[in-house]
Chains A and B, each alone.
Chain A
């Protein structure tokens, strides 16, 4: 099938195209040089903005944690429902939408690829079963490996090669895409209700520190040539004064960065950039963090923007969720996973008239504006932790328009207003920058070569928005832009028009992307391995892996490792 998108203003930062009027040709789900002008189906994009399909580097949309969040919050669903149509399945929405609704809503915003960032390896089948029921999108998951006993033991021994072999085995076994590290050392400590507080604290029962875990896995990541860097949720996340820990973390990782390329992605950076000594004196640490990132090239990050709304926080960082529980007294789920990780869930309402929440809102924007290079920081809410993904258009509004963010800041808590750095920040992102922070930059950081751009050979994942950059000043008419990014004029997935004027016109299933990492010597599956399995887990070795049965459409990427 051929498709021709005519006359749109194309924003394709990876290929350096900035709003040029041009045609995009599609054949068999790929972008091509040209198509038969008469035979191809045509989309008239005159006066519209054309971008690659959106890529989300970090959003919790599937798996054990997400589903427990859904289960515990009927009050979250009741106010937001989706009716069944002849094309689409029914579902519920708001902060943790049901799987089908998640797919449809992302697609309506022009997104086509998502990364689900926390998959407990033991429960990986669950994650993949849900991803199969999340239509319209290509997706991948990051297995949680930072507190896995195998990793702790090999790093403790200093045996990086063996550690790398097991990580490679785990990628294939869980059908994962990147190494996810959450509060390294803290999750193992949480097994007995404790935590680590600096990157040099010893992990109880193990002779290892968070620094050694992060640097060790970053090295392993390099040895394996994985397309993405380690995906890191820092220690002390969500606590006042933690920007110092974040700086320590980034400095520690300098030792791994030898070729100027990124070695770590610090996710939802906002939650790791608090200054102050306690909640009363909590203020923004964005300036210091941004300064460091501007001066170094080994870190990428995403915002973790807070939205003023009722949402559900969920993370593998069990001790942090416990802190939130102590603060809020709200219903609290804790869920530790043997040998691997932990997890927690708390409903949370971010309020404008709460000084801490308003400061958090400000921090994320400060980071996005003060980190000069848009290729280093991407737009996320850490869905649903900072707010649901449906708020992305709002964030785009704040980023492109000083007027928009000042309007919101004016309604915030007085103390937060006074401390906010936003009034001093004049920068307004262009549509080109928006294309970087919502797709191109994320695809690049993920090493997804066929996503996030519209060059020949790329996947024909395209979003078309009803914004005419020639006729409107986006900084003044930010509301128009917001509406346009909330309801794509067209979303094209693999060359098929799936959304038109913000409505689903075709239900398609996306692929599940995973890494098949090939090491010179593979993990041996012998009696010793089976014995270890029985000792560490309560399941048999044979029943642990995610088989192809659990992937509706499998898209393996073969990686040749150095070990």
Chain B
């Protein structure tokens, strides 16, 4: 039996493409249409035989299979007895689970944090400093005639971003630049092939490595072309840069400087230097002309700004630039959010507690002070005494010292897969994969909520994040009331 499911939302990146078509054969996803490589890989690999099928609890140093009841009781006991537990992850699960997560954090008086803290957290700090002029992605599709990607590479990380929302889409007031770029991509692919052939020919002679340099003479003519313009600013020539009309290579760590120079130019100041951050001033003047003269411009920024030197100051100055530009024309700025529901994690946390991440409930009310209440800092100060990790793998990407403290204390992990953190955990729950085996809600990078579908059944007996968390919460309340009675 084969059926097709339309309009499936893809639970991979912040683009949240919702036009995926899946073919289900005998209860298994057989074919993926419309998706990018990441999407296909997620929808086709969910049935991975390495998936853990039962809850595990560490006994005498070894993780052994147990029932959900036992694991839930064990997890609840850990959390109820902890003084200062951390509850981290959340960005790859649905809003329904996140809502229970906030309630659980409040119940146990812990620190609730999501992966934004090591990602776009600095962007949020900047929004709290200067605000953010932004819009939904469709607004860009319909209106933007200038698209700038700064410190991000959608071609690789958000593969359908250009095709669905920006340069390659057909909007009401702006057309698609698809054809032109196809020609360009073909030409550059041909060129690359030639180059590699040549290289293979001369490889025995060990030539100097070919480093592409930005030509210092004249900006390309494409900047004055009609239609949508695409500009990429990055420290290296990314895949997106290859198709861009204009690429500006900024020296690593000098985004802030470059942005300030652009701000000065937007305000009609003259610069007394020849170059800023490795970019000739004539180039910048050209860029600023394009910015000021567009009808609707947008900057997308990624980790290149938020996690390089300067962090939230980089984003701060980027948003300030957009504020300045809005005095001349219409401009917007959007962060390129990574996980499919990291925006949802911030959103849910904000409406329930007032704060988007790093929320400390230990005093009975929400408190927020990233740097103090952010999870990495709590771990580095060795303050937490238990942890619940949901849909995330901090053991493989937190600082080593932080991970050491994380695993030194009781560790509960809820994840569909046996990731590095799960291997180090004390209680490990397998969970249904949100967006494939569990329906829910996720927020796109521009805060548009989209429903996630359940297209196949989870492996037998496997619960969802939401169910597991609800049961832990219930059990925590039971344990706490027992303790109260004992004390009385």
Contact = CB atoms under 8 A, between A and B. Distances in A.
Interface string A521-563: 0000000000000111111111100010110000000000000
Interface in A343-365: 345-346
Contact of B352 (A100, A333, A334, A339): A100
A123 interface: yes
A77 B354 contact: yes
A191 B145 CA distance: 13
A331 B361 contact: no
Interface in A213-262: none
A450 interface: no
Contact of A64 (B172, B368, B441, B447): B447
B187 interface: no
Given A332-B323, A540-B19, A89 B352 contact: yes
A503 interface: no
Given A83-B365, A91-B366, A193-B330, A333 B131 contact: yes
Main secondary structure of the interface of A (DSSP, over half): mixed
A191 B106 contact: no
Contact of B7 (A332, A335, A541): A541
Interface residues of B, number: 64
Nearest to B484: A86
A205 B352 contact: no
Contacts of A73: 128
Contact of A126 (B323, B347, B363): B347
B352 A98 contact: yes
A89 B173 contact: no
Contact of B132 (A83, A122, A333): A333
Given A331-B130, A338-B138, A92 B365 contact: yes
Given A73-B128, A333-B127, A92 B7 contact: no
A205 B173 contact: yes
B8 to A, nearest CB: 9
Interface centre among B135, B141, B330, B448, by most chain A C-beta atoms within 10 angstroms, is B448
Contacts of A205: 173
A142 B219 CA distance: 50
Given A192-B295, A539-B450, A336 B347 contact: no
A36 interface: no
A125 B447 CA distance: 11
Given A70-B354, A72-B128, A90-B353, A543 B135 contact: no
B103 A89 contact: yes
B427 interface: no
Interface in A81-123: 81-84, 89-92, 96-100, 122-123
A67 interface: yes
Contact of A77 (B130, B131, B355, B451): B355
A287 interface: no
A334 B333 CA distance: 10
A82 B367 CA distance: 11
Nearest to A73: B128
A84 B352 contact: no
A74 interface: yes
A96 B19 CA distance: 36
Contacts of B441: 125, 129, 550
Interface centre among B323, B439, B447, by most chain A C-beta atoms within 10 angstroms, is B447
Main secondary structure of the interface of B (DSSP, over half): mixed
B268 to A, nearest CB: 18
A428 interface: no
A169 interface: no
A320 B61 CA distance: 63
Contacts of A78: 368
A535 to B, nearest CB: 8
Nearest to B356: A71
B326 A193 contact: yes
Interface in B319-352: 323, 326-327, 329-330, 332, 346-348, 350-352
Contact of B353 (A91, A326, A537): A91
Given A126-B347, A540-B19, A337 B136 contact: yes
A336 B326 contact: no
Contacts of A133: 99, 351-352
B127 A338 contact: no
B176 interface: no
Given A122-B136, A130-B351, A542-B6, A547 B449 contact: no
Given A82-B365, A333-B127, A538-B164, A70 B138 contact: no
B460 to A, nearest CB: 25
Contacts of A92: 353-355, 365-366
B264 to A, nearest CB: 18
Contacts of A192: 143, 295-296, 330
Interface in B299-324: 323
A465 interface: no
Interface in B161-214: 164-165, 170, 172-173
Interface in A294-352: 322, 325-326, 330-339, 342, 345-346
B138 A339 contact: yes
A62 B95 CA distance: 16
B1 to A, nearest CB: 22
A538 B352 contact: no
A161 B164 CA distance: 33
A537 B450 CA distance: 13
Contacts of B165: 538
A335 B106 CA distance: 31
Interface in B85-109: 95, 99, 103, 106
Contacts of A342: 135
Contact of B128 (A74, A338, A535): A74
B146 to A, nearest CB: 13
Given A332-B323, A338-B142, A90 B135 contact: no
B364 A91 contact: no
Contacts of B6: 540, 542
A98 B351 contact: yes
Contacts of B361: 84, 90
B354 A191 contact: no
Contacts of A334: 132-135, 326, 332
Contact of B136 (A91, A130, A336): A336
A129 B133 contact: no
A98 B133 CA distance: 23
A331 B128 CA distance: 8
Given A92-B365, A99-B352, A125-B449, A538 B128 contact: no
B119 to A, nearest CB: 16
B474 interface: no
B124 interface: yes
A552 B327 CA distance: 43
Nearest to B331: A193
Contact of B365 (A72, A91, A322, A547): A91
Contacts of A81: 365-367
Interface centre among A73, A122, A205, by most chain B C-beta atoms within 10 angstroms, is A122
28 contacts: A62-B351, A71-B128, A74-B368, A78-B368, A81-B365, A92-B365, A96-B354, A98-B366, A122-B448, A123-B448, A125-B449, A129-B95, A129-B348, A129-B351, A133-B99, A191-B296, A331-B128, A331-B130, A332-B131, A336-B139, A337-B135, A338-B136, A339-B142, A342-B135, A536-B172, A538-B136, A539-B448, A543-B7
Nearest 5 CB-CB pairings of A with B: A338-B138, A193-B330, A92-B354, A331-B131, A336-B135
Interface of A: 62, 64, 67-68, 70-74, 77-78, 81-84, 89-92, 96-100, 122-123, 125-126, 129-130, 133, 191-193, 205, 322, 325-326, 330-339, 342, 345-346, 534-543, 547, 549-550
